[in-house]
Amino acid sequence: MSKLSHTDDKGKANMVDVGNKPDQIRTARAEGKIVLNPETVKLIRDNQMKKGDVLTIAEIAGIQGGKKTSELIPLCHPLQITKLDVEAELLKDGVIVKSFTKCIGKTGIEMEALTAVNIALLTIYDMCKAVDKEMEIGEIRLIEKNKTDL
């Protein structure tokens, strides 16, 4: 029986060996929110932020971040992502970001979904920090993850 641990016998960190696992269709959904002042929401809605279209740029940044997950998180396997969607929706009190990720592989894709949401939210924070000193990022969570045999 193989040992699926992140450390070897000497306590050194290692990636989990997933080589013997079958390829499966794997999906994950995540979401998170950034709370903004009403004035900031209005600036975003009216596309008046100095750095540009906040929601579109956040969505693109989230996609880029999700694709770089294995470079950002130690021991995270690089995956062949087949789909990565990020949606940023303006609310009356902020923005909710949702992601959907899909791959065919031996390990889950939830870290990519969560990373995409986090990077999108951080991008919104960066784009709005000059006008809003009270922003709060939170409620980041994995909504679901699934795997299906090929």
Catalytic residue IDs: 126
DSSP bridge partners of 9: none
Dist. CA 58–CA 116, nearest whole Å: 10
Tell me, what amino acid is at 40? Answer: T
DSSP bridge partners of 29: 100, 144
CA distances 77 to 28, 40, 120, 132, Å, are: 15, 38, 21, 37
Dist. CA 8–CA 75, nearest whole Å: 13
Judge whether 33 and 138 are in contact, CB under 8 Å: yes
Dist. CA 125–CA 113, nearest whole Å: 19
